[in-house]
Amino acid sequence: MTLRNDAAWGAVAAYYEERVREHGATPWGVDWTCEPTQQLRFVQLLKVVRARGAFSLNDLGCGYGALLPFVRSRLPGPVDYLGVDVSPRMIAAARQQDRHAAFHVSATLPRVADYSVASGVFNVQLGFSPRVWRGYVKDTLRELARASRRAFAVNFILPPRPGVEPLEGLYRTRPATWAAFCAGEFGAGVEVVQGYGLREFTLLVRLPSRAARRGASGRVPSSRTAP
């Protein structure tokens, strides 16, 4: 996977390196305002998991690994978890939190799992143009689809309410844009989750079988590793 502007991956990594250096393994270290809203987002993302027993989960943009203990506390089956982040400092913090879990420094997912999630990975646009950022979103969604057998989930910030001055530097969008992209690109069933108290939405993207995906396009979507 690569952004259309290769410099963007370095900018994303540098941004989160500074956040975790300043705030440590806390919600502020991954640019969330508090733990309750961070966990509220986890609740929405995990609605994508329909496993009653053991399952595997990729966490793209895992930060310091806050999702893993939440998964273990909320879902009944054992989880084969892999956390991936572009920030080496984030991954070091995650390994300090849980020395037995698997964490990996990368912009791509090195395995296929039953499910994949990505929380907040599209929010901070870092001055890149809308065209470049839309390319980044598409690349990331394709990577999540490639690395997921059953489904994946992501979240986005909604546009501000009328009369509210938006914060600069954030990427905001409406559900229809990316729900349609996922339905068309992957032949997926897409559920939009919103109205959970935050100015955002979550997409639950349920994929056809990998055999069906190959039959539709000749191959399962692949990606390139970012520099």
CA distances from 93 to 25, 41, 51, 142 (A): 6, 21, 29, 27
- Across the beta sheet with 200-206, what order do the strands follow? 102-105, 79-85, 55-60, 113-118, 148-157, 200-206, 189-193
Q: How far apart are CA 226 and CA 9, in angstroms?
A: 7
Helix, strand or coil for residue 182?
A: helix
- Contact predicate 60/144, CB 8 Å: yes
Look at residues 41, 16, 31 and name the one whose alpha carbon lies nearest to residue 167. Answer: 31
With 80 as the cut, is the pLDDT of residue 13 above it? no
Q: How far apart are CA 56 and CA 151, in angstroms?
A: 11
For residue 188, the 8-state DSSP code is: -
- Contact predicate 120/32, CB 8 Å: yes
Look at residues 19, 25, 14, 21 and name the one whose alpha carbon lies nearest to residue 66. Answer: 25
Helix, strand or coil for residue 80?
A: strand
Place of tokens 């870092």: 126
* pLDDT average, residue stretch 196-220: 78
Q: 35-49, pLDDT tens digit by residue?
A: 788 889 999 999 999
> What are 115's two structure tokens?
């499910």
- Contact predicate 67/84, CB 8 Å: no
> What pTM did the predictor assign?
0.84
For residue 170, list its beta bridge partners: 124
Q: 94-114, pLDDT tens digit by residue?
A: 998 888 899 999 989 999 999
Total residues belonging to the chain: 227
Compute the C-alpha angle 198/204/75, nearest 5°.
85
Look at residues 71, 177, 156 and name the one whose alpha carbon lies nearest to residue 115. Answer: 71
Highest mean pLDDT among 117-126, 128-137, 147-156, 203-212: 147-156
pLDDT band at 226 (very low <50, low <70, confident <90, very high): very low
Residue type, 134: R
With 50 as the cut, is the pLDDT of residue 50 above it? yes
